[in-house]
Structure 1
Amino acid sequence: MSPAAKSSFSVGRAVDWNLAATVGGKLARPEPPATDYTRNQAIDQLTEAARAAEIPVREVTGLSEGGEIPEARILNRPDWIRAAAQSMRAMTGGDGEGRPGVISGRIAGAQTGAVLAFVSSGILGQYDPFAVGGGELLLVYPNVIAVERQLHVAPADFRMWVCLHEVTHRVQFRANPWLAGHMSGALAVLTEDVADDVTHVAGRLAEYVRDRRKHADDEASEPNSTGVLGLLRAVQSEPQREALDRLLVLGTLLEGHADHVMDAVGPAVVPSVATIRHRFDQRRQRKQPPLQRLLRALLGIDAKMAQYTRGKAFVDDVVTKVGMARFNAIWTSPETLPLPHEIDEPQRWIDRVL
């Protein structure tokens, strides 16, 4: 195909999503051993905690959309993989017209399933704004059980603490419906086929390599999340780089805001919140085996961990200076979201927006 001939197929249509779900379910790591009593107790407590967390989160954020409190969906690892594959299908245009090539679609499906299997053992919960029939809060109970055991914390407190973070995401999206469209628009740009000449892509990649060499003395020899993101940006078109920046900034804001709310609400509803936060932060920072560090870097997991830290620092700073009510101007439109450089310089966002 010539460079000018752009394909009408998106990334989503090039993946066999049913195979991705099947492969992911088979490759998922075994769940922590637990009795039926422990599993049922975790499911019941997470269900109740997701419901109970809603009101204090609305009160702290000032983002009360009113109405009924939606029920969370409590899943095991294979269930989460199937839900994630279904969401990614919708998010990337996989429900549109057109069918993937049989071989390429199955290869891509198997690769995607392997990635979902790796992620499924670490994710505690998420709010899925692209779920069929509307947004949905997902909580992965085997992982919650595994982490609370690792941290040696009170299970009921930890389950509520996790729900405070994830329910904040539910409130963010339900109170500001435009966020899902903003996110899907950026994803559409990232996943669309581009017609860049190979020489242009190679030129950008060479420029990136030269720049990395200049800073080689200051970088670790192993791949890191910053380096992987830089490599990704090097082969992207300018619209794709701008879309990636929008997604990274939005993700940093959403995660930092949720962490801020979690700590603001925590003392009132989670007696051992200080202990949980301390031990959880230590867990985030612990050293990983080399292969796991590589996989985490390639999948952007370490970059996501940085989002929590940078995003929370931004939200903490702005809320301290202007209060939550004025901070909420950030949810007005895409134009009031932070610009990339403003995440680390909150005063510049205050000056521009407020």
Structure 2
Amino acid sequence: MHADTSGPATVSESAPARPVERGLPVNWTLAAATAARLMPPGPRTTPAAAAELVDRLRTDSARAEGHVRDVTGLGHDLPLLPADVLDRPAWARAAVEGMDVLTSGAELPATARPLRTVTSAGAGVQLGTLLAYMGARVLGQYDPFGGPDRAGRLIVVAPNVHAVTTALDVDGEQFGLWVCLHEATHRLQFTAVPWLRDHFAGLVTDLLTLQEPDSTKLTRLPEAIRSLRSVEGERPDVLALVELLQGPEQRAVLDKLLALSTLLEGHADHVMDAVGPDVVPDVAVIRRRFTERRRGGGVVDRLLRALLGVEAKMRQYAVGAAFCREVEAAAGMSGLNRAWESPETLPTRAELTDAQAWLRRVG
């Protein structure tokens, strides 16, 4: 190939940008419909008992946040709002709406419309199937991106609260309030910390936008499997494999996202127990039985939980709660609240297992 020297030199034009599409290729409507179709019905109860439970959970959610504010010192100027108490299919619809909003900023390589249609339909069915499994188990959640105005939505799933209350053989009023304490803490995290919502969404967007082609990940698969086998005394999990398959940029973002989610979950678990027996007299019994239930289940159930990353999430609760306990013991709740000052004061994944290192860094 020869250079053209017949005319004045010119700056060559850069290659045209690859076309991109925003949002994940998921048929969200199909996902919600699939979840509703596959989800098992809730436990049987009388209409009067169901109505009483719904009313109580709505009241408990607002009351719980008042207790959380007293413990944490956060958000005292915010309104106390009731939760949306839903059944299982309504939770699935709400979860789909929130995921759609959360992932809408991701920029992915554009695909031909017929291929995207097929891909989104398959992804919708897969997501709906997973939601059907989770929908019979989730007790509640705070969705920072849900609700009619996308300003956030606290949800409690009434049939699941009723089912777990029965399975654990605990006081129903205390257990409902205890569940609300956890979810109300999540709501307070996102409403009392003004930068948290956008920071979380930005990390998710960055992680999805940096996704590499499957062919690139496949080249890392043999090394990833060898690394998993070489870790003695550790039970391999899906999350570990996902991390090993990431490129350097992805792994850096994933580290931040995992550290944040671990703090969020651990902080909520720590606070719900810190409220203490004055509010939930049987808190120690409830915590013990609930933790045992988290670890239990049949072989198929445990396998599904591992594949869905639920086992990894359980470890997040434990690691995050231990970090919060150690920090509060050393520096008080005001010291723990330093974590919420800015993205820079959030603990790293390494610091979550070395609270003293975080305390030294943030002063």
Relative to the length of structure 1, the TM-score reads 0.91
Partners of 2:320 and 2:68 lie apart in 1 by 18
1:96-107 equivalence runs, <5 A? 101-107=116-122
Asked whether the 8 Å contact 1:6–1:194 carries over to 2, the reply is: no
Partners of 1:353 and 1:16 lie apart in 2 by 44
- Cα–Cα, structure 1 residues 108 and 347, in superposed 2: closer, same or farther, change >3 Å? same
Equivalent residue for 2:269, pick from 250, 255, 259:
259
* Structure number with bigger Rg: 2
- Cα–Cα, structure 1 residues 16 and 49, in superposed 2: closer, same or farther, change >3 Å? same
Partners of 1:337 and 1:73 lie apart in 2 by 30
Q: Deviations over 1:60-80 (max 9, x none)?
A: 101125132122100000000
C-alpha deviation, 1:196, in angstroms = 5.2
Partners of 2:210 and 2:25 lie apart in 1 by 11
Q: Deviations over 1:235-262 (max 9, x none)?
A: 2222221222112111111111111111
Equivalent residue for 1:324, pick from 315, 325, 333:
333
Aligned partner of residue 126 in structure 1, secondary structure: strand
Asked whether the 8 Å contact 1:330–1:337 carries over to 2, the reply is: yes
Asked whether the 8 Å contact 1:165–1:259 carries over to 2, the reply is: yes
Asked whether the 8 Å contact 1:9–1:193 carries over to 2, the reply is: no
C-alpha deviation, 1:94, in angstroms = 7.6
Q: Deviations over 1:5-60 (max 9, x none)?
A: 755125x4400000000001111112111111221111011001011112111111
- Greater mean alpha carbon deviation, residues 259-268 or residues 145-154: 259-268
Relative to the length of structure 2, the TM-score reads 0.89
Partners of 2:322 and 2:214 lie apart in 1 by 41
- Cα–Cα, structure 1 residues 341 and 96, in superposed 2: closer, same or farther, change >3 Å? closer
Partners of 1:269 and 1:219 lie apart in 2 by 38
- Greater mean alpha carbon deviation, residues 329-338 or residues 186-195: 186-195
Equivalent residue for 1:81, pick from 86, 92, 105:
92
What is the number of residues matched between the two proteins?
342
Q: Deviations over 1:200-228 (max 9, x none)?
A: 4333222212222323x5355xxxxx531
Alignment RMSD, CA only?
2.2
Structure 2 residue ranges without an equivalent (≥5): 1-15
Partner of 1:164: 181
In the alignment, is residue 72 of structure 1 matched against residue 83 of structure 2?
Answer: yes
Structure 1 residue ranges without an equivalent (≥5): 221-225
Partners of 2:311 and 2:193 lie apart in 1 by 27
- Greater mean alpha carbon deviation, residues 176-185 or residues 226-235: 226-235
Partners of 1:85 and 1:308 lie apart in 2 by 24
Asked whether the 8 Å contact 1:148–1:155 carries over to 2, the reply is: yes
Partners of 1:51 and 1:279 lie apart in 2 by 25
Equivalent residue for 1:281, pick from 291, 296, 300:
291
